[in-house]
């Protein structure tokens, strides 16, 4: 889970907002020291961990703690049982906070090997029954990437800000944070970069370099395979096969056999029909492909996922109606995904995070659903009643029920820790510095100078003892690192801060220019 803006984190005795320009530097320190930052959506703080992906540091919730976060927090996560993640967490998806990675158990290979001969019935009598391990299917892998890229989340501020460049960057970041079959998933994933005619040659050269390791001249049954995630533009008839035209790589062809195309069309008939009727929708393909010496990609296995114009996954007409209404009403929610779970089992289509006192799980009961489906839905709702409210749209009843009323976002989204002002004396002969931090614990014990890694959140004021009228206030965020033993700290009361501001400090300007040492007095 990537960091969500608007959330406050507490680390090294200092609070940071996720959109703080110094946040990446602070996370780098935390990552190197293997510390546990705290998410301050709750007054007591909730432990998190830091991962590194795509050259950036990401702060993630600890496994199985999503529901403990405030409903307005970017790390809040609905219970796994509401979707298909519940049967995969801890088995096919294993998070390792100590190493900052997620291990995936995939149900498909990255090498095209020879087919194994199926055993003849009665050939041998097994003494035990082997239980298959939970594995991610191709579609479930796409669901995992989409969810980790936070493309299942929606808030009104996201309108008009999602485009293929952002989607690609988020997907690659999610893949870099996962390992599968001993290697980073990002090394095995190709996501076409946004195509422009002016940079056609450069884009083609980068793609060729990435796919060169697949172009082997060895036996066809031993070729390496790779994943592609791209938006489908069209399926076109070719001389022998079907050509899949993928947006953003019009000069590179993916070919699918006629038989495989027929199976794909039958399996994803509903998605294709909805895509055909919605000009603004996006049809995503995840495929396992090889590149034979001919240089054209041959699709070995594929799956499809449909999204609306905002890149939120949809399955059909009812899904689209509900998601569209939630977006139109400017609601805050997360879209649920099935992963490997069959459509015969109930799923929370979305979880509203802007309802109080609890989030609201939203279900659609399809028309003609068997009694077993209704019983499973009732059991699912009853089992989560302590943590969530429920909203159900029974399709047979007709029109969509009114949406649950919106409430102000949970006040716990922001940290409730009050600023603490410190007066830092480095040396009596040098200027002192008045800074404000979010943590009172930095003062314990007084007089000691521990290593301070802190972004100055409100004030950084140069105090000149010999010339009070020459004091300056600098509004630019800075880092303070007094590592020398002569530094001392003293708490400054709110009254004293006001006195210093009104009587002793002459504010010249608030500038974004680099901090400079005071001129000699």
Tokens of 276: 């055909």
pLDDT score at 455: 30
Provide the CATH number for the domain formed by 313-411 in this structure: 3.40.1350
pLDDT score at 106: 95
Diameter over CA atoms, the chain:
98
Contact by Cβ (8 Å): 40, 9: yes
pLDDT score at 164: 96
pLDDT mean values, one per 10 residues, the chain (521 residues): 51 59 72 78 78 77 80 80 88 85 92 54 52 84 95 92 94 91 92 92 90 70 88 92 93 92 95 93 96 86 96 92 95 94 92 90 92 92 90 91 81 36 41 39 33 30 29 29 39 53 38 38 34
Contact by Cβ (8 Å): 77, 68: no
Q: Which residues contact 88 (CB under 8 A, 6 or more apart)?
A: 134, 136, 140, 339, 340
Neighbours of 453 (CB within 10 A): 18
Asked if omega into 357 is within 30° of 0 (cis), the reply is yes
Tokens of 60: 């993630």
Domain ranges of the chain: 313-411, 418-504
Q: What does the DSSP 8-state code read for residue 42?
A: S
What pTM was computed for the model?
Answer: 0.73
- Residue owning tokens 């703690």: 65
Tokens of 36: 């546990």
Neighbours of 105 (CB within 10 A): 15
pLDDT score at 386: 86
Of 7, 5, 3, 9, which is closest to residue 438 (Cα–Cα)?
9
Q: 138-148 and 164-176 helices cross at what angle (nearest 10)?
A: 100
Tokens of 48: 């998190």
Alpha helix stretches (DSSP H) within 160-302: 164-176, 200-211, 258-267, 269-277
């Amino acid at each position: 889970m990537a960091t969500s803006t608007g959330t406050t984190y507490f680390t090294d005795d200092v609070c940071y907002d996720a959109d703080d320009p110094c946040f990446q530097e602070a996370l780098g320190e935390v990552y190197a020291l293997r510390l546990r930052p705290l998410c301050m959506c709750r007054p007591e703080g909730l432990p998190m961990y830091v991962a590194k992906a795509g050259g950036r540091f990401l702060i993630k919730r600890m496994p199985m703690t999503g529901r403990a976060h405030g409903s307005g927090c970017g790390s809040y996560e609905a219970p796994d049982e509401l979707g298909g993640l519940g049967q995969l967490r801890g088995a096919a998806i294993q998070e390792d906070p100590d190493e900052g990675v997620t291990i995936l158990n995939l149900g498909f290979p990255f090498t095209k090997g020879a087919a194994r001969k199926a055993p003849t019935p009665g050939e041998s009598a097994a003494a035990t029954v082997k239980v298959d391990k939970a594995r991610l299917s191709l579609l479930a892998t796409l669901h995992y990437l989409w969810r980790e890229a936070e493309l299942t989340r929606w808030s009104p501020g996201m309108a008009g800000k999602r485009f293929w460049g952002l989607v690609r960057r988020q997907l690659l970041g999610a893949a870099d944070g996962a390992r599968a079959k001993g290697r980073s998933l990002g090394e095995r994933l190709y996501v076409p970069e946004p195509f422009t005619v002016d940079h056609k040659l450069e884009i083609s050269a980068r793609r060729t370099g990435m796919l060169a390791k697949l172009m082997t001249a060895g036996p066809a049954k031993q070729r390496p395979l790779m994943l592609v995630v791209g938006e489908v533009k069209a399926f076109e008839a070719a001389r022998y096969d079907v050509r899949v035209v993928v947006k953003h790589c019009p000069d590179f062809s993916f070919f699918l056999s006629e038989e495989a195309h027929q199976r794909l069309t039958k399996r994803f008939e509903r998605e294709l029909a909805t895509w055909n009727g919605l000009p603004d929708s996006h049809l995503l393909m995840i495929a396992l492909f090889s590149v034979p010496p001919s240089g054209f990609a041959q699709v070995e296995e594929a799956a499809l996922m449909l999204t609306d114009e905002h890149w939120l996954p949809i399955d059909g007409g009812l899904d689209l109606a509900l998601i569209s209404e939630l977006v139109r009403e400017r609601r805050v929610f997360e879209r649920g995904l099935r992963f490997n779970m069959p459509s015969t089992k109930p799923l929370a289509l979305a979880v509203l995070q802007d309802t109080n006192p609890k989030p609201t799980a939203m279900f659609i009961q399809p028309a003609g659903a068997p009694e077993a489906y209704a019983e499973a839905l009732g059991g699912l709702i009853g089992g989560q009643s302590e943590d969530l409210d429920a909203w159900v749209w029974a399709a047979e009843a007709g029109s969509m029920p009114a949406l649950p009323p919106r409430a102000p976002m949970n006040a716990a989204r922001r940290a409730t820790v009050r600023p603490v002002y410190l007066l830092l004396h480095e040396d009596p002969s040098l200027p002192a510095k008045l800074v404000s931090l979010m943590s009172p614990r930095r003062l314990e014990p007084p007089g000691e100078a521990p290593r301070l890694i802190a972004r100055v959140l409100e004030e950084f004021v140069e105090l000149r003892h010999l010339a009070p009228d020459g004091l300056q206030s600098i509004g630019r965020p800075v880092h303070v690192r007094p590592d020398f033993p002569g530094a001392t700290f003293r708490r400054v009361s709110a009254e004293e801060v006001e006195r210093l501001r009104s009587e002793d400090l002459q504010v010249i300007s608030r500038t974004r220019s680099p901090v400079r040492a005071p001129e000699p007095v």
